């Protein structure tokens, strides 16, 4: 770090959302650095136009344009906010000039760096990789648990606004998941890491929110909570808006029923948490294959008592179907998944739900009785329940529940298509049978693995 009062000049390559946001932060809050140049490849980009208005030197000539700038010799640090593919070329040229490179893409040519964990260890590296936005938000939490006990598996779900994801981010989805997964292991200390990103089209745009699932050895819960809170405070020191949205939740795992987890081996960890993770690992490729085949969306929801929550979804490339955020609750009366779940409940639980609904809203209860009658007929004739567009008129969904609960929770798979899809006319003959096959395949794999 510059030990004098003189600020170090930096350049930013990439005039999209990430680069422009970083530029504004440097201009407003830079204590040790100042803007030397903003670099893009589109002369008409909003980012370059904004930089010019704010008095920043710009070039639309890409990395070659940066090297040709009269003031290039003053630039000591370059932030690369382009793409993983372009970063290798940029880094090669910049290293020839002795420039320190901070990689904001998932290229991961240099060491992974999360400031709360290992910044001091990598200050002298010529190229450091800042993992991903989701990694920066979640890996500190995994590392906080690793300080207390062994972490076998860490999974993060990063939900961001579609509006905040520019072309560069969208082109790097695969690199995002791969780089973040590896960094969960390298920096977070997990034996196995997994990363999922969700682009949410909600308007107004939502704030970024991340969920962290951890499978670990037994440990003092209070010690884990203290470690996480301490780590949150460290991150808040450089990201003031960072915060936990809820208290840390624990699910105690009994040690008397060992199971085999793919990638981890035989562990004495048989709990609802483990079953959920294993089921999702088994189901994901099947769900993605069906989503690609139907050019729609395939969802997995888990139900307990009177709650049904979306835990996984797979989308075909270019799928226009609305993408709800993982973790949201699903309507029981108005969705195919909700009706399949209600019909999968024990009779007394379903009747108790309907009895309470009749007391609170008789008209709605009468309507639901009719819809459940339709659902029973669909289930008997076709093996699935339908939404009939009751939640979203422009969408049609069918759903199939697993034949029996997993550790007290009932799992429901669904396919959602736009009503103009040709396959909406082939639900009984093509889509439905494939969805039933997916569910039975997952059940058979779970049964063979001793998890059901």
The CATH number given to whatever domain includes residue 71 is 3.40.50.720
pLDDT at 117: 97
**Residue 17 shares a structural domain with residue 150:** no
pLDDT at 221: 92
Residue 357 lies in a domain: yes
**Residue 76 shares a structural domain with residue 164:** no
**Residue 330 shares a structural domain with residue 291:** yes
**Residue 62 shares a structural domain with residue 154:** no
**Residue 406 shares a structural domain with residue 297:** yes
Return the structure tokens found at 436: 């039933």
The CATH number given to whatever domain includes residue 169 is 3.30.360.10
**Residue 306 shares a structural domain with residue 399:** yes
pLDDT at 405: 77
Residue identified by tokens 């909406």 is: 424
Residue 60 lies in a domain: yes
pLDDT at 226: 96
Mind telling me the catalytic residues?
133
pTM of the model: 0.61
**Residue 227 shares a structural domain with residue 157:** yes
Residue 234 lies in a domain: yes
**Residue 146 shares a structural domain with residue 86:** no
**Residue 416 shares a structural domain with residue 319:** yes
What pLDDT digit, counting tens, does each position of 107-131 carry? 999 999 999 999 999 999 999 999 9
pLDDT at 326: 67
Residue 15 belongs to domain spanning = 8-105
Instruction: Spell out, as residue ranges, where the chain has pLDDT lower than 70.
Output: 1-5, 253-279, 318-327, 406-407, 445-452
**Residue 186 shares a structural domain with residue 323:** no
Residue 126 lies in a domain: no
Residue 261 lies in a domain: no
**Residue 283 shares a structural domain with residue 423:** yes
pLDDT at 449: 39
pLDDT at 292: 87
Residue 125 lies in a domain: no
Q: How many domains is the chain built from?
A: 3
| Domain-terminating residue out of 250, 282, 316 | 250
The CATH number given to whatever domain includes residue 367 is 3.30.450.40
Angle between helical axes of 272-294 and 432-449 (0-180°, round to 10): 150
Residue 122 lies in a domain: no
**Residue 300 shares a structural domain with residue 405:** yes
Residue 256 lies in a domain: no
* HEC assignment per residue over the chain: CCCCCCCEEEEEECCCHHHHHHHHHHHHHCCCEEEEEEECCCCCCHHHHHHHHCCCCEECCHHHHHHHCCCHHHEEEEEECCCHHHHHHHHHHHHHCCCEEEECCCCCCCCECCHHHHHHHHCCCCEEECCCHHHHHHHHHHHHHHCCCCEEEEEEEEEEEHHHCCHHHHHCHHHHHHHHHHHHHHCCCEEEEEEEEEEECCCCCCCCEEEEEEEECCCCHHHHHHHHHHHHHHHHCCCCCCCCCCCCCCCCCCCCCCEEECCCEEECCCCHHHHHHHHHHHHHHHHHHHHHHHCCEEEEEEEECCEEEEEEEEECCCCCCCCCCCCCECCCCCCHHHHHHHHHCCHHHHHHHHHHHHHHCHHHHHHHHHHHHHHHHHHHHHCCEECCCCCCCCEEEEEEECCCCECCEEEEEEEEEECCCHHHHHHHHHHHHHHHHHHHHHHHHHHHHCCC
């Amino acid at each position: 770090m510059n030990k004098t009062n003189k600020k170090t000049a930096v350049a930013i390559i990439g005039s999209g959302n990430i680069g422009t946001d970083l530029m504004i932060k440097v201009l407003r809050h830079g204590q040790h650095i100042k803007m030397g140049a903003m670099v893009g490849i589109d002369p008409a980009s909003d980012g370059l136009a904004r930089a010019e208005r704010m008095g920043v030197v710009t070039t639309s000539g890409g990395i070659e344009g940066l090297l040709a700038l009269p003031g290039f010799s003053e630039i000591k640090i370059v932030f690369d906010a382009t793409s993983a593919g372009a970063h290798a070329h940029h880094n090669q040229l910049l290293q020839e000039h002795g420039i320190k490179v901070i990689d904001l893409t998932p290229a991961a040519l240099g060491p992974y760096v999360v400031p709360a964990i290992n910044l001091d260890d990598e200050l002298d590296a010529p190229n450091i990789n800042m993992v991903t936005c989701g990694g920066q938000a979640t890996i500190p939490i995994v590392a906080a648990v690793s300080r207390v006990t062994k972490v076998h598996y860490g999974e993060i779900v990063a939900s961001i606004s579609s509006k905040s994801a520019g072309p560069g981010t969208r082109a790097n989805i695969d690199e995002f998941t791969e780089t973040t997964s590896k960094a969960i292991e390298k920096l977070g200390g997990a034996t196995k890491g997994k990363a999922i990103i969700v682009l949410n089209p909600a308007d107004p745009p939502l704030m970024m929110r991340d969920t962290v699932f951890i499978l670990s050895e037994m440990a003092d819960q209070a010690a884990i909570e203290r470690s996480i809170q301490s780590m949150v405070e460290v991150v808040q020191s450089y990201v003031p808006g960072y915060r936990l949205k809820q208290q840390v939740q624990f699910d105690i795992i009994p040690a008397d029923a060992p199971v085999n987890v793919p990638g981890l081996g035989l562990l004495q960890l048989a709990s609802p948490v483990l079953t959920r993770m294993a089921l999702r690992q088994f189901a994901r490729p099947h769900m993605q294959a069906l989503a690609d085949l139907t050019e729609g969306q395939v969802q997995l929801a888990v139900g307990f008592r009177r709650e049904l929550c979306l835990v996984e979804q797979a989308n075909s490339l270019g799928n226009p179907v609305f993408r709800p955020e993982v973790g949201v609750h699903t309507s029981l009366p108005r969705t195919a998944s909700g009706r399949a779940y209600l019909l999968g409940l024990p009779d007394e639980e379903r009747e108790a739900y309907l009895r309470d609904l009749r007391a609170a809203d008789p008209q709605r209860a009468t309507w639901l009785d009719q819809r459940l009658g339709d659902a029973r007929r669909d289930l008997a004739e076709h093996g699935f329940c339908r939404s009939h567009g009751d939640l979203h008129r422009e969408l049609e969904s069918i759903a199939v529940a697993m034949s029996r609960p997993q550790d007290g929770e009932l799992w429901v798979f669904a396919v959602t298509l736009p009503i103009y899809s040709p396959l909406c006319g082939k639900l009984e003959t093509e889509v439905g049978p494939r969805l039933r096959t997916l569910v039975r395949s997952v059940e058979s794999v779970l049964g063979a693995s001793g998890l059901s």
